[in-house]
Amino acid sequence: MDQETLENGLAGSASSAKNFPGLDDWRQLNIDQQPTWQEHPDYTNVINELNTVPPLVFAGEVDRLRKNLAEVAKGKAFFLQGGDCAETFEGATADKISARVKTLLQMAVVLTYGASMPVVKMGRMAGQFSKPRSSNTETRDGVTLPTFRGEMVNGFEFAEEARAHDPRRMVQGYHTSASTLNLVRAFTTGGFADLRLVNQWNRGFTSNPAHARYESLSGEIDRALKFMEACGADFDAMKTTELYVGHEGLLLDYERALTRIDSRTNQPYDTSGHFIWIGERTRGLDDAHVDFLSKVRNPIGVKLGPSTTADDALRLIDKLDPEREPGRLTFITRMGASKIRENLPALVEGVQASGAKVVWVTDPMHGNTISVPSGYKTRRFDDVVDEVKGFFEVHEALGSFPGGIHIEMTGDDVAECLGGSDPINEEAFADRYETLCDPRLNHRQSLEIAFLVAEYLSRR
């Protein structure tokens, strides 16, 4: 094998993953939130096809992410995850993808300055096509159909044919992920990520009078960049950046089929994304998702909702990170603004006492979802901010590192979450509510969160 292949970790042949010990144990276990499509006439062909398609990400990149996350676990870097609740096939356009990447890069610059540390950047992108749901069915005007479970499973349209679970959608999901990732790679290496350009975009945000309170921070970043330039800093080296991708590893049919054995290490890597997380609804210790993801080398996340006990957290560590490898495991807490200050301390103290080094991330979205009388699901910007604040307060009090934020966001000017300095109100939902699942922060609300988090980080 040549040196380059060794370093990049090109995934091994698909057939080598076929009988790899342990990779199929999940099939014997309880599994929740799965489509009912095993009897579909195309099911086997789809799985065979996905077993042989090229990997979307390389094992070497996955290893690099694990190392980056190890720095977060040690308190030396900050982790930013953001993107759609549910990506769509139709939404995989150059404009929408570039707006999301641009927003993430803008947020990252502000956070890097506030934290005075590197920011590990990740999109909920290129694979976030399946959704766990509270209910199996949805009823409208007396008609009951299966719920929408993400475009890799069924269609959003409220019609019997659209809502049928169709495994062929996994192939479309794979190809849409490939073209999304292609664009993400192009944007982050082709000049779009130039630090000075990103900062100019942020100057545009703070020039809006509604965001005047962030003007001084963006001005400081501006002066820091001019100072670096005057010192002769090599800005060409700052024209590229790395943006990883991650999604909830919900559809084990898809995740298993995309798993390949790495030619360097002979270890299994789930090549559908760099980072895979287990959702709040599928984190049962003895269930299929925890078992399958315990077998792959990717960094793994687990969402922890308000019912999580310290014992649950410790047992998840034993299963998913038995070697206590910093960077391997990220706990993404999503307690809700009213519960985080009460519930998070026991988890952090339990993990601290065990000596394990996990990355702590806050998802201030999923514990703060409300429905308004008009029927829309939404979140109040103030609740999101309050949960982030609670997260920082708890970690500060316990001496642990608040490692990152995980948000549902978009680069577009949607109206889905209420409030913000340039406030979104309910009247705007009729025209600008676009999400197919949970409400996202829009471009300006996302930047505002980044400025607020940067303020907390700079106070540490």
Ligand X SMILES: O=C[C@H](O)[C@H](O)COP(=O)(O)O
Bridge partners, residue 329, by sequence: 300
What ranges in 58-163 are assigned the alpha helix state H?
59-73, 94-115, 160-163
Q: Which of Mn ion, ligand PEP, ligand X, none has residue 280 at its interface (CB below 5 to 8 Å by kind)?
A: ligand PEP
Tell the smallest beta-carbon distance from residue 142 to ligand X (Å): 20
Q: Which is nearer to ligand PEP, 368 or 442 (CB)?
A: 368
Does 85 belong to an annotated binding site?
A: yes
Does 334 belong to an annotated binding site?
A: yes
Q: Which of ligand PEP, ligand X, Mn ion, none has residue 133 at its interface (CB below 5 to 8 Å by kind)?
A: ligand X
Residues within window 161-190 making contact with ligand X, judged by CB under 6 A: none
Q: Which of ligand X, Mn ion, ligand PEP, none has residue 416 at its interface (CB below 5 to 8 Å by kind)?
A: none
Q: Which is nearer to ligand X, 108 or 145 (CB)?
A: 145
Does 303 belong to an annotated binding site?
A: yes
Q: Which of ligand X, Mn ion, ligand PEP, none has residue 134 at its interface (CB below 5 to 8 Å by kind)?
A: ligand X
Bridge partners, residue 262, by sequence: 11
Binds ligand X by CB under 6 A, chosen from 3, 19, 134, 139: 134
Tell the smallest beta-carbon distance from residue 411 to ligand X (Å): 19
Q: Which residues of the chain form contacts with ligand PEP (CB under 6 A)?
A: 85, 132, 248, 279-281, 303, 334, 363, 366, 438
Site string for ligand X, 334-373 (x = CB under 6 A): --------------------------------x-------
Strand 119-124 and strand 243-248: the pairing is parallel
7 residue type, one letter? E
In the complex, which residue's CB is closest to ligand X? 134
Q: Which of 386, 336, 334 is nearest to 361 (CA)?
A: 334
Other beta carbons less than 10 A from residue 446's beta carbon: 23
Q: Which is nearer to ligand PEP, 110 or 288 (CB)?
A: 288
For the chain, how are helix, strand and coil distributed in percent, rounded to 5? Answer: 45, 15, 40
CB 279 within 8 A of CB 316: no
How big is the chain, counted in residues? 460
Tell the smallest beta-carbon distance from residue 250 to ligand X (Å): 9
Does 438 belong to an annotated binding site?
A: yes
Q: Which is nearer to ligand X, 21 or 375 (CB)?
A: 375
C-alpha span between 278 and 393 (Å, rounded): 26
Which long-range CB contacts under 8 A does 421-429 form with residues at least 24 apart?
A: 421/210, 421/211, 421/213, 421/448, 422/208, 422/210, 422/211, 423/381, 424/381, 426/372, 426/374, 426/376, 426/378, 429/374, 429/376, 429/378
Task: Tell me, by CB under 6 A, how many residues bind ligand X.
Answer: 8
Q: Which is nearer to ligand PEP, 101 or 335 (CB)?
A: 335
Angle at 86 between CA 84 and CA 91, to 5 degrees: 75
Detail the residues annotated as belonging to a binding site for Mn(2+): 85, 366, 408, 438
